[in-house]
Chains A and B, each alone.
Chain A
Amino acid sequence: MAKITLNNLAHSYYPKPKVEDDFALKELNYDWADGEAYALLGSSGCGKSTLLNIISGLLHPSQGRILFDGLDVTHASTADRNIAQVFQFPVVYDTMTVRNNLAFPLKNRGEDPLYIAERVQQIGQMIGMEAELDKPANSLTADAKQKISLGRGMVREDVNALLFDEPLTVIDPHMKWELRTQLKSLHHEFGHTMIYVTHDQTEALTFADKVAVMYDGRVVQIGTPQELFERPQHTFVGYFIGSPGMNVISADITGKVANVHGTSLALNRGYKDLNGKVEIGVRPEFVSLTEGDGLPVNVRRVEDVGRHKIVRADLFGNEINILVGEGVEVSPDMNRVTFDPQHVNVYVNDWLEAGEVA
């Protein structure tokens, strides 16, 4: 277990990167606290696997340093870093039994056979495969194989960190839930530093204490699920997290007033001298559909998803999503929207503008 420090870290797959766009992973400084569970969230190709492989030592960064508990491990091998990693697709040693698969990392490190037997039994129980321990690994389903991979990742107690690279891709939905819960309880029990890569927001938000959202090779925000929901630092975070994502509407802002296509909206905070692309972001949860005042919208359709309704509407030619409670009737006269000023965020060139409370 260790604190992992990333210092000026960046990586490019080109031998001589020139412009910033050449970098698959843009410069990054961060401390991953000891014993916390993190998720790296982002769409495919955003650099999350690159970052994970750099931490695990499978990839060496083009610049910067990685420190484990203050010790520079930038050039240390995977084995020396003493980390465990679980991959997207199950990796099992086909010719071995489940038991031997789980024991393999311990045997390679020359552990005491008695300890190995005991530990393997324990892990077998943990992943719910006690009954299959003596079966050959290649006779099992993809689910079960991935459980073996997870088990092999957790079999060593002294690892500095446990890394997961979209480990539940091949698992059935109901098993996903179960395994995720198990991982979480393991985390509570053993307190390993865990980093979990995924493109599924539900997975990230339920698993992790803190979620790092990545976009185009950059970590755009690291925060608790609540922070990501309430104060997205970047329009991408707002858009990517939430279902549906945050509405982003272009606006002119002077002081505490936003002007959206000729209609003024009061803001909670004051903003000065905004240059560039100015937008306001407001989550569908904080938009209300009314008959009274507000911005005029054309309701296109209403999707009833059970817990609530999603109203898809048109605001000056842009799509806007509105969340309406289950009990509320959507009438044809409701053609205006208002925003909860508490939850309106202002973005300049896609980045959150803090503003001043005045």
Chain B
Amino acid sequence: MLHPLTTLASQPNVALDQYLPLAVIIVGAVGFAVANIVLTKIIGPSRRGANKGMSYESGMNPVGTARKRFNVRFYLIAMVFLVFDVEIIFLYPWATTFPNLDPANPDAGIWLFRIFFFLFTTIVAYVYGFRKGVFNFD
């Protein structure tokens, strides 16, 4: 089964310069992480204590059994997030196609209408969640 991989590696015409943007991003990402750690060490105030030593200083209290149940609101938020998360994968193909549309094309209005209708459905979901009280934290 090694055969496909070896042939891929031995291809002479793989243009390495095409990977330059990728290399820039990798360097940028690693640099960002390293810079954050180093800079907080240098600039940040250093306090110690029981609360500071916890794995998460904000959010869930990590003391006690790990089998504790989450508040069910976390699931509600997760589901609301899912709506908007999935909405994005439809917006991307539309957004990359729409600028290429000929302005004189009579279908342009329909293309715009379609995405507005789609956004309208998301708004209905949002209003429903709002009325249902999903965003009420008390």
- Please say whether chains A and B are actual partners in one complex: no
Q: Which residues of A contact B (CB under 8 A)?
A: none
